Structure 1
Amino acid sequence: MAKVRAGTLLHGVLHVTIFEADNLYVNDCCNCFPKLSEETFSSGKVGGCRIYTTINLGSTIVGRTRSVNQNEHFNFQWHQSLRIYTAHIASEVVFHIKEDDTIIGAKVIGRAYFPVEELVNGENKDRWLQILNKKHKPLKARPRIHVKLQFFNVTKDINWSQGIKSLDFAGLTHSYFPQRSGCRVTLYQDTHIPTTFFPEILLTKGRYYELHQCWEDIFDAISKAKQLIYIAGWSLCTKITLVRESTCKKQESSDLNLTLGELLKKKASEGVKVLMLIWDDRTSIKWLRNDGVMTTHDEDTESYFDGTGVHCVLCPRNPDKGESLIQGTEVATMFTHHQKIIIVDSDVPNEKSDSRRRILSFIGGIDLCDGRYDTPFHSIFGSLGTVHHNDFRQPNFEGASIDKGGPREPWHDIHCRLEGPIARDVLKNFEQRWRKQGKKDVCLVEIDSLVDTFVPSSLDKFPEDDEEIWNVQLFRSIDGGAALGLPNSEEEVARSGLMNEKEHIFDCSIQNAYITAIRRAKSFIYIENQYFMGSSFGWNSGNLQVQEVGALHLIPKELSLKIVSKIEAGERFSVYVVIPMWPEGIPESNSVQSMLSWQKETMDMMYIDIIQALRAKGITADPKDYLSFFCLANREKKNDGEYKPSKHPQYDSDYNRAQQARRFMIYVHAKMMIVDDEYIIIGSANINQRSMDGARDTEIAMGAYQPYHIKRNEPNRGQIHGFRMALWYEHLGFLDGSFLVPQSLECVRLINNISTKYWDLYCSETLDEDLPGHLLSYPIKVTESGNVTTHLGVEHFPDTKARILGSKSELPFLLTT
């Protein structure tokens, strides 16, 4: 067990059971005075208040119990067990006993302490602990709390650094949705793939990877639906068209030119049940929205479908029970419904008639709204006269418009289609959300009762001997304020991996899926995500109260600890992370600068971990040989026949400088992780606290692998491998033999060198040719101590006055983490 700074590293799973507390006196819980009866007051015991307990590692809360009242024996009983993923340094497990105040929050009554050093050997510890005040003095009548603890070190996990070893792998245990077998997954990069984008990627048995058209397939699925079309999204724009390229393989359809709004109204008029849940942005924080963090078409979308057969519900992010008034207000005004899902009925494969139906679903990062349509070429000027003329989006510059010209904001994203049993789980998610926040007078299609129409769920599977089948599991970030039907009993909550904190039941299985996938990883991890910040409990900032920041999810720390474990074992391991150059919005704005500062703190923490591990082994190496960050960008020379704007940007503006330099970032909106070309996670969840918390933004994701490739004792060359290689071809403009072994020094150094060259070309004063590739080394360097800084003389992003490393702001932490 590694000793680091003050304390012991607890990396694994901590099992905690809180049984009961006794002898809590009224003077120890002074907020309860107004609630006490005379009998209770005279007894000197806590009466009418509700009490809960938090479990802390150091100053970090890692778990909470539900709130309970005092029983007739004058004590408080929980009998609640928690299973907590840990990657924290601490000397003590601290139990904070608190009074639950539904108005302002909580008041600490007392604290109990358990030394971490007694847990490291994995023994089960059952003990009564004395409850003390903040000066470590006993409270009146010496109250106690009864707890049981057991720590399971990550290295004792049979899957630690082993990948998926056998067909018996059951996915994420303790999860609401089980892993499903007999499924099919189609992977999408960007919304459209032109025929001119054609990498030759060899898979198993001499087959080549096949690219797929996301919005064409969505258009086709919606067009062919006969019973239901369910959509849930952060935003939906009725004016967009899904199919725009003349190479479309479905040109025979007369509906190709319909806008999305027209298509949905047409399907409703045909008798298809069309239900939509669109996030209702009811925030009044206009200064934040002007920063470009949140802009949707919710009111326009509702108005468009008013009086039609399409049932569109603007869906606010309502708080769940158990939250204080202040917490509820924060949820309602600061958090969103961020899931992006489409569910339709579809024909059954290999059946001549289309009368029998099954469920088909799409999930991922792509909303059906403006600015999302793009190709792997990510043109910033060349498409302004064609497919992007009526779909120009550039929220990073004040006053940007098609009349003033490019650069537009290109959009890189990832999505997937799910078939088989997993599609029913996506349907169940929508049904739970509709029953909670949908129209009460509009019923869902009861597919289980339509036995002559829908294939039974038990038969909606692809054959086991199909080499292209997948095992897939659905994950969520969601709570009872957004979904009806989450379990209530303590046993079922625990079995489903849910959290019950102060009667607030929520699901954070997306974070758990990332954690367990990282822990399984053998050789490399490849991440694309819109944000990268978290594990603030491990930040090294001297003047920042990191516990107040609250970006507590484990993913960045898990990544650095995985790398550290491989360094200690003398094994190669590489992590590649692709993020935007900056979070979408005016780059100098408070919100963007704040998020960049959290990103910098996160990078610092990870590189410090890596450098300390290298020093401990006496290894001299570049930490970027193990962990590399990249962003995407494009630069285009001017071509004859290009769209000519009628107006010009303001002279001394970021907009004008970017236009003159003919360059701009490609906005990375993907939310994906690939592990060892074996396992993939795709969804709507960002790597930040908003997405991973479970009680903030609502999210959905899937984790999947192909069993056929698990059986083969060979390098993985299935669909996940092909997808990664296609992404690398898109980003780099070429393929190389070293890409087959991403963990190798040859591969990581080639990519780092090429991405540095592309950054230099992007920043160059001259422009002779288009940028040959889009993958740029993120503009940071790592000092000998592991701190992240900028290169000499390069403190701002090109064409802006925005600091690369960000700056602190007065914005609430909840908004920017």
Structure 2
Amino acid sequence: MKNLKKAAKQGKAAAQSANQQILTAAHSSGASSGSSATLAAYVPGSAVDRFLLIVKVFRVRNLKWTGLAAKTFTKFRPTVAVQVQQVKIGQTGVGTSKVDEPTFNESFFAVTSSFLPRASPGALVQITLQDFDLKLGINELGSFTFAPKRATGPQSWDPEWYPTKNNVKGEGEVLVAGVFVPCDEAIGWTETPMGDFPMRTGNDVRLYQDAYCPVPFLSHMQPRNAFEDMYESLSGAKQFIYMTGWSVWTKLNLLRGKECPSLGKLLADKAEQGLQVCVLIWDELTSVDGSPMAGGLMSTFDEETRAFFKDTKVSCRTLHRYGYQGFEEAVMSHHQKTIICDTAAGNIHAYVGGLDVTNGRWDTPEHRIFSSLDNDHKDDFYSACVPGATAEVGPRQPWHDIHSRLEGAVAVDVYENFRQRWEMVQTAGGGKVSEKPVAPIAALKGVAGAKVSTTGSWNCQLLRSIDRYSIESKGEADANVIRSIHNTYVLRICTAQRFIYVENQYFMGSSHFWDSKIDPGLRNLVPILIVEKIISKIVAKQDFTAYIIVPMFPEGLPDSVGVQAMLRWQFLTVSMMYKRIFDALKTNNVTERTVEDYLVFMCVNNREEPPKGVVGKKHGTVENGRHTIYVHSKMIIVDDEFILIGSANINDRSLRGDRDTEIAVICNQRPPPPNPPPPHSNELHDFRLSLWCEHFGGMDELYRHPQNPMCARHVQSLCVNNWEKYTADDNSSRLKGHACKYPYVADANGVLKAAGNGKFPDYPLADIEGKLSALPNHVTT
């Protein structure tokens, strides 16, 4: 605690003399200066130009094995690696179609400043053709380099065939396209190129914080309650209800304090009325119906849900993650969370986000720990972080999440995603085979389909992380692996101008840039791109701040092997980010700013009066009346202009495309001219402020200017004070909101370490920095 307070005071003192100047410039900070300089990853402090690089690998032809490496094609598993300056930015899945002419159709996004010591628009990209042998690993067959071309727009692709060279084991030709564009020029790209769905205009978007938010934090906002809206949509559906989920709990009551059927009964009743009701859930292989392990290790209720619908007209399918074998097949999941149904008016409601319709998710912005056990959570108690927690004593695990409801053409795309996945499982997985396939939207009577209203103010693009094992294939033009969620993260961070705000269940990646000998192969670029964006603003002398909220620790007991491994990856990720920003400030002689002016890393927690009269030994969370709030959000807001919401975490399991299956939507609500430049007020701006009111305990005018260092310092001070109250022995002082400074501190050289005694409050064996484990890295990354 003393370390946290000392760091906050030092940062405040170092920046005090610049505050008046910052305040004066608040409205103009973040405006384009015409420079897009940044610091190279390998030469901290030296500016280089920044280019968005896009590479697409289409297919291979004339593939031959040579010399001693000759083998039969029946054992051949072709794949292609994409590198820039010896740093891998992507690896395709195993090619499809003819084994000697494999098809990929996979695209990879990067920003060249993360890899190049000097700016080079024509930087060479290396393509390596490989064979992924299940027993021997990867064999390199041949490679070549090519110079990407200058993009003239977001759709300017011109693929070419290139022969592999320096062949030792094989030869062939690869069809690839590569383009680059200065990041500043890509600011106008509202659509992510090479996605499997286009940007749709004229949509309506409803944004939700938590499952139930009855009183808006801003007086002019309407209350929006996700679970209540879901109930109304399901109740009002006329022809179909389609649902995908990591977990679906049939006993869930979407309404609290009101009479309503359970979710399972509601769906069964709608199917009995003649609607086509299809439910597609992950088949957790550790759950066995009728056994003591019926709930499985993850308590997803998959067997219980399938059994509930067995004698109803609901078509319920459970599906495990094909494409893997053994242990990996059991742990890789289908993680999409969608509800799609028609309305009486002939429109479609599509719900997309982080909320599963399962136990423990119903919560309010109060995030109560004990006081709701005998009312709102009486029949919905959930706790995965405290051993021995009971519904009578608690604590319950507070749950924070972000969700959305989509109407318009993008809702049709969500419908199409479900149709593709449903068609894929008609001959696979368990459960009851549907007697009726999901029809293309154009075949439905009374549903507007692709001609839905375009009067809404939102541009939306559906994004996915998914591969050919999970969706219906339409032919060789389909992508082998789709990673448009990761590509969109790259594009939007690349073009961010003022600030980035992230809420996510996990935050780990870019391990090829860690200052560590440990490299678990975490290749997503989100953390390093945030760092490079910040460094570019330091060089350009522009204000910019990234605010990141994560749970205090991943779900589970924080001293368990898996959680400790994930905490280690997070610590190494944030350490890399902190040190690079620290070095950039030093190199550029910036003495009036600190790292925390640019990077604010937080968790959210709560305290309440603990229950009285508890007999026997009590866990520390009960004794001290406190519990962390589990952040399950999967959201990024950029400049109050773009918001990405979905099921994807910031880790490789969610972003690679060939591990967990994910879905997300990127929504853009830019004000039309002649509206003034940012900061401006729109629905997205108000939604972020509403979230900040929840986390920070009320509104402050500084929150309208997140890029302002005074805003970052205000937030840091509040979070340090909240952490002091959260960890205090005295439980008489309540937190202001819930946001706390994450318990990391840095030494005089910018090296990060755990605060205090290095352990989480109430968990004396749980290391804040985490520990390595014997678990396979691709399970915990």
Please report the TM-score for the alignment, with normalisation by the length of structure 1. Answer: 0.80
CA deviation after TM superposition for structure 1 residue 767, in Å? 1.5
**1:684 lines up with 2:676 in the alignment:** no
Pair 1:698 & 2:661 matched: yes
Aligned match for 2:624, one of 655, 661, 665: 661
- For residue 130 of structure 1, report the CA deviation from its aligned partner: 4.0
Partner of 2:554: 583
What is aligned with 2:566?
A: 595
What amino acid is the match of 2:450?
Answer: S
The one of 367, 371, 374 aligned to 2:363: 374
1:511 aligns with 2:486: yes
Residue of structure 2 in register with 1:224 after alignment: 236
Matches within 5 A, 1:53-68: 53-57=80-84, 58=86, 60=88, 62-64=90-92
Q: Aligned residue for 2:675?
A: 712
The residue that corresponds to 1:99 in the other structure is 131
What does the per-residue CA deviation read over 1:204-260, in whole Å, with 9 as the maximum and x for residues that have no partner? Answer: xxxx222301111111111111211111100011112111046xxxxxxxxx33111
Secondary structure of the structure 2 residue equivalent to 1:704: strand
In structure 2, the partner of 1:426 is: 414
CA contact under 8 A between 2:295 and 2:302: conserved in structure 1? no
Q: Which residue of 1 aligns with 2:503?
A: 528
Question: Superposition pairs for residues 741-756 of structure 1, below 5 Å?
Answer: 741-756=705-720
> Per-residue deviation at 1:385?
1.2
Q: Is the 8 A contact 1:95 1:113 kept in 2?
A: yes
Partner deviation per Cα, 1:280-333 (whole Å, 9 max, x = no partner): 101489xxx9999722111111111111122211121112xxxxxxx4445522
Matched, 1:270 2:273: yes
Cα pair distance change 1:276/1:710, threshold 3 Å: farther
- In structure 2, the residue corresponding to 1:541 is in which secondary structure? coil
Aligned with 2:690 (options 690, 709, 726):
726
Q: Hey, what's the Cα distance between the residues in 2 that align with 1:699 and 1:150? A: 26
Structure 1 residue 793: Cα displacement: 3.1
Inter-partner Cα distance in structure 1 for 2:710 and 2:171: 58
Which string of whole-angstrom CA distances, capped at 9 and with x for unpartnered residues, describes residues 49-93 of structure 1?
56554333426362348659999xxxx777988643234537985
Contact 1:593 1:803 in 2 (8 A): yes
Deviation at 1:594, TM superposition (A): 0.2
Q: Residue in 1 aligned with 2:21?
A: none
Q: Secondary structure at the match of 2:395?
A: coil
Q: Equivalent residue for 1:455?
A: 448
The answer on 1:488 being equivalent to 2:439 is no
Alignment of 1:77-156 (within 5 A): 83-87=107-111, 88-89=114-115, 95-101=127-133, 103-104=134-135, 106-110=137-141, 112=143, 114=145, 130-131=165-166, 139=168, 152=179, 155=182
**TM-score, length-scaled by structure 2:** 0.84
Shift of 1:630: 0.5
Q: Residue 446 of structure 1 aligns with which residue?
A: 439
Does the 8 Å CA contact 1:523/1:676 hold for their aligned counterparts? yes
CA contact (8 A) 1:587 1:800 kept: no
Preserved CA contact (<8 Å) 1:581 1:665 = yes
Greater CA deviation, 442-451 or 620-629? 442-451
Q: CA deviation at 1:769?
A: 3.7
Please tell me whether the aligned partners of residues 600 and 805 of structure 1 are also in contact (alpha carbons under 8 angstroms): yes
Distance 1:747 1:798, change over 3 A: farther
Asked whether the 8 Å contact 1:591–1:816 carries over to 2, the reply is yes
How far apart are residue 158 of structure 1 and its match?
1.0
CA distance in 1, matches of 2:532, 2:272: 55
Query: After the TM superposition, which residues 229-268 of structure 1 pair with which residues of structure 2 at under 5 Å, given as runs?
Result: 229-245=241-257, 256-268=259-271
Amino acid at match of 1:680: I
Q: Deviations over 1:414-444 (max 9, x none)?
A: 1110011111111111111111114554214
Structure 1 portions without partners, runs of 5+ = 37-46, 133-138, 202-207, 247-255, 320-326, 349-356, 499-504
Distance apart, 1:794 and its partner CA: 4.1
Of 226-235 and 103-112, more deviation after overlay is shown by 103-112
Aligned pair 1:26/2:29, yes or no? Answer: no
User: In the alignment, is the contact (CA less than 8 A) between 2:210 and 2:363 conserved in 1?
Assistant: yes
C-alpha displacement at 1:12, in angstroms?
A: 2.9
1: distance between equivalents of 2:350 and 2:106?
Answer: 33
CA contact (8 A) 2:95 2:103 kept: no
Q: C-alpha separation between the residues in 2 aligned to 1:156 and 1:192?
A: 39
CA distance in 1, matches of 2:445, 2:115: 58
- Could you tell me which amino acid in structure 2 is paired with residue 406 of structure 1? G
1:94 Cα shift? 5.0
Name the CA distance, whole Å, in 1 between partners of 2:268 and 2:149.
Answer: 61
Equivalent position amino acid for 1:662 in 2? G
Q: Where in structure 2 are the equivalents of 1:181-192 lying within 5 Å?
A: 181-192=201-212
Helix, strand or coil for the counterpart of 2:516?
Answer: coil
Matched with 1:199 is: 217
RMSD of aligned residue pairs (Cα, Å): 3.4
Cα–Cα, structure 1 residues 697 and 147, in superposed 2: closer, same or farther, change >3 Å?
closer
- 8 Å contact from structure 1 (residues 48, 69) kept in 2: no
Q: Secondary structure at the match of 1:802?
A: strand
Residue identity in the other structure for 1:313 = R
Compute the displacement of 1:182 (Å): 1.5
Quick one: distance in 2 between partners of 1:710 and 1:299? 54
Distance 1:795 1:807 in 2: 12
- 1:626 maps to a residue whose letter is Y
The residue number in structure 2 matching 1:304 is: 308
- Residue 39 (structure 1) aligns with: none
CA displacement, residues 592-645 of structure 1 (integer Å, 9 cap, x when unaligned): 00000000111112112212221221112321110111001000125xxx7x68
How many Å separate the matches in 2 of 1:268 and 1:48?
46
- Partner Cα separation in structure 2 for residue 431 and residue 482 of structure 1: 11
SS of alignment partner, residue 484 of structure 1: coil
Query: Deviation at 1:261?
Result: 1.4
Task: Show the counterpart of 1:815.
Answer: 779
Return the alpha-carbon distance in structure 2 between the equivalents of residues 209 and 520 of structure 1: 29
Contact kept in structure 2, 1:9 and 1:89, CA below 8 Å: no
Aligned partner of 1:315 in structure 2 is: 319
Q: Secondary structure at 1:605's aligned position in 2?
A: helix
Name the residue aligned to 1:417: 405
Distance 1:80 1:377 in 2: 47
Change (3 A) 1:130 1:508: closer
Q: 1:172 maps to what in 2?
A: 192
Which whole-Å CA distance do the structure 2 matches of 1:128 and 1:317 have between them? 35
Match of 1:622 among 578, 591, 594: 594
Tell whether 2:556 aligns with 1:559. no
Paired residues of 1:65 and 1:78 also in contact (CA < 8 A)? no
State whether residues 10 and 86 of structure 1, in contact with CA within 8 Å, keep that contact through their aligned partners in structure 2.
no
Q: From the superposition, tell whether residues 290 and 708 of structure 1 become closer, same or farther in structure 2 (CA, over 3 Å).
A: same
Q: What corresponds to 1:361 in structure 2? A: 350
Encode CA deviations 1:160-193: one digit per residue, 9 max, x unaligned. Answer: xx4xx5xxx5511211111111210000011112
Distance in 1 (CA, whole Å) between partners of 2:538 and 2:624 is 42
Counterpart residue identity of residue 488, structure 1: G
SS in 2 for 1:347: coil
Question: Is the 8 Å Cα contact of residues 317 and 332 (structure 1) preserved in structure 2?
Answer: yes
Flag structure 2 segments of 5+ consecutive residues without an equivalent. Answer: 1-37, 118-123, 153-157, 427-431
What is the deviation of 1:406?
1.8
- Structure 1 residues 462-512: Cα deviation after superposition (integer angstroms, max 9, x where no partner): 43xxxx521111001111211113x433xx34xxxx4xxxxxx12111111
Change (3 A) 1:783 1:657: same
Give the CA deviation at 1:454.
2.0
1:112 CA drift (Å): 4.3
**Amino acid of the residue matched to residue 712 of structure 2?**
V
Q: Is the 8 A contact 2:389 2:395 kept in 1?
A: no
Residues 293 and 412 (structure 1), Cα distance of their counterparts in 2 relative to 1, 3 Å cut: farther
SS at match of 1:308: coil
1:157 & 1:130 partners in 2: Cα distance? 35
For residues 768 and 312 of structure 1, what CA distance do their matches in structure 2 show?
A: 49
The one-letter amino acid of 1:108's match is: N
